[in-house]
Amino acid sequence: MTMRVAVVGGGMAGLAAAHELASSGVEVVLFEGSDRIGGKLRLGSVAGVTLDLGAESLLARRPEALDLIHEVRLDDKVVNPETISAAIWTHGGLRPMPPTVMGIPADVVALAESGIVEGALDPHVLPVPDGDVSVAEFVSARLGRDVLDRLVEPLLGGVYAGHAARLSLRATAPQVAALGADLLAGATEARAKATASGPVFAGLVGGVGQLPAAVASTGGIEVRLDATVRSVSRRPDGWRLAVGPTTDVDLCDVDAVVVAAPAPAAARLLAEAAPDAAFALAAIDYASMAIITYVFDEPPAFQGSGLLAPPVDGTFIKAATISSNKWRWVADTGRTVIRASVGRAGETTLLQHDDGDLSARALADLRSAFGALPDPLDSVVQRWGGALPQYDVGHLDRVDVIERSVAAVPGLEVCGAALRGVGIPAVIASGRAAARRLSDAGTLDA
């Protein structure tokens, strides 16, 4: 008898879990509450050019995303950036970003020449604490506030849309903790090793947003859109899901369930079956942000991949990417494409501006940073409300509680960005691991 598994959530974690299950011969039904799959991966048209409106690159030094791309036969579209030479927009100008390990300088000469940090560094060699601390506490005690504010903070803002004073060192910057007591020496050594290991990032010709549909086309996966799962309950021989509007609930019986929804929804669904996990999930905060994509007819004067803007400087944007410098396939359209990113945790009023105001204010910052820019041919604002989980200090302890609580319930798994990584490879790894745990536990044996 073919086993049937429900996957709740159609982001990349849920799709990866569904793909893993279907590839092993399991019948999968994937429920997505919105009208589209893909989570924070999305394609859209801007001035007639199809572009990524969400994530546009993935970490190439982790294998999970590239492995999945291979399995869904998108290998021929894999490309690496033409440039990853970014700048820090600070002290009134664009300053070349020196080599770093998550903002920790790996070349003090290049740092001094950049003018990003004012004055000489006064590093302190201190032991790495056994327990978790904030990134801000760890870095500022060893390298001072300027390195924290103008290098580490903008990098964290780009990845997590969070603040170093709250974010967990162990969960968000384990590579920084791994540098040891002497951060500068550790960063120099780690950077040299990383440079020899190949490209950092990869993308897809035509956009990373192609990946969700390719995964969903895996045989054995039934995708149901606009299908909100209202409850998940145990039955003697499996699980029952209540799906759809309260006025027309559809009951779906399955042998096992993978919950791949964001933490607030996952907490609600797990409240009965795994209450400790639900309580821990409910404690995870989320940040909202937006990406504004502009298409121009004229090239920008800046030749690098983009910029990061330290929040200490009070700019509206936190980052910008010149996609047509970064990706050959975008340049081949004959247009200049720039993406601006806005929004960090707690900045609720910022994203209350309408699309026109967001676009205008971000464009004003781009003109201040890059110099004269013409009026865009078109711009698209993509809002990502509650998109990025915040890994506050103690996050990994919370994740341990979630995983232990769920592990005690046969036929139930949980995965997603709320746990052990927000990047595409990490999220894919989370989904596939959840599927494999079901298989290893014998839950899927007919």
Model confidence over 76-91: pLDDT tens digits?
A: 999 999 998 999 999 9
| CB 323, CB 330: distance < 8 Å | yes
**What fold is seen in the domain 4-39+208-284+391-440?**
FAD/NAD(P)-binding domain (3.50.50)
Q: Is 287 exposed, middle or buried (0-12, 13-18, 19+ CB in 10 A)?
A: buried
pLDDT at 160 over 90: yes
The single-letter DSSP state of residue 127 is: P
Question: Which residue's structure tokens are 């009134």?
Answer: 92
Element (H, E) at 59: strand 58-59
86-195: which CATH number, 3.40.50.300, 1.10.3110.10, 3.30.430.20, 1.10.260.40?
A: 1.10.3110.10
User: How far, in Å, are 247, 251, 256 from residue 244 at the CA level?
Assistant: 8, 9, 19
Q: Please report the beta strands in 260-347, taking only residues with DSSP state E, as ranges in sequence order.
A: 286-296, 306-308, 319-322, 336-342
Burial 211-242 (b: 16+ CB within 10 A, else e): bbbbbbebebbebbeebbbeebeeeeebbebe
Tell me what pLDDT residue 267 has.
98
pLDDT tens per residue, range 96-112: 999 999 999 999 999 99
Q: Is 114 left (phi over 0), alpha (psi -120 to 50) or beta?
A: alpha
Give yes or no for residue 378 having a pLDDT over 70: yes
Q: Distance from CA of residue 71 to its chain's centroid?
A: 22
State yes or no: pLDDT of 348 exceeds 80: no
Cβ pair 337, 324 in contact under 8 A: yes
Q: How confident is the model at residue 64 (pLDDT cuts 50, 70, 90)?
A: very high
pTM: 0.96
Pairing status of strand 286-296 against strand 78-79: unpaired
Query: Distance between terminal CA atoms of the chain?
Result: 6
pLDDT of residue 397: 98
b (16+ CB within 10 A) / e for 57-86: bbbbebebbbebbeebebeebbbbbeeeeb
- Whose CA is closest to 21, among 41, 34, 5? 5
Contact 225, 382 (CB under 8 A): no
Is residue 196 predicted with pLDDT exceeding 70?
Answer: no
In this structure, are residues 218 and 19 in contact, taking their beta carbons and an 8 Å threshold?
yes
**Number of C-beta neighbours around residue 394 at 10 A:** 15
Average pLDDT score, the chain: 95
For the ranges 13-17, 198-202, 237-241, which has the lowest average pLDDT? Answer: 198-202
Q: What is the residue extent of each domain of the chain?
A: 4-39+208-284+391-440, 86-195
Task: Collect all residues with Cβ–Cβ distance below 8 Å to 430 and sequence separation of at least 6.
Answer: 13, 16, 415, 416, 417, 419, 420, 421
Residue 91 is predicted with a pLDDT of 95
8 Å CB contact between 58 and 65: yes
Structure tokens at 179: 């540098």
Confidence of residue 446 (pLDDT cuts 50, 70, 90): low
Query: Which tens digit of pLDDT belongs to each residue from 221-239?
Result: 999 999 999 999 999 999 9
Provide the pLDDT confidence category of residue 181 given band limits of 50, 70 and 90.
very high
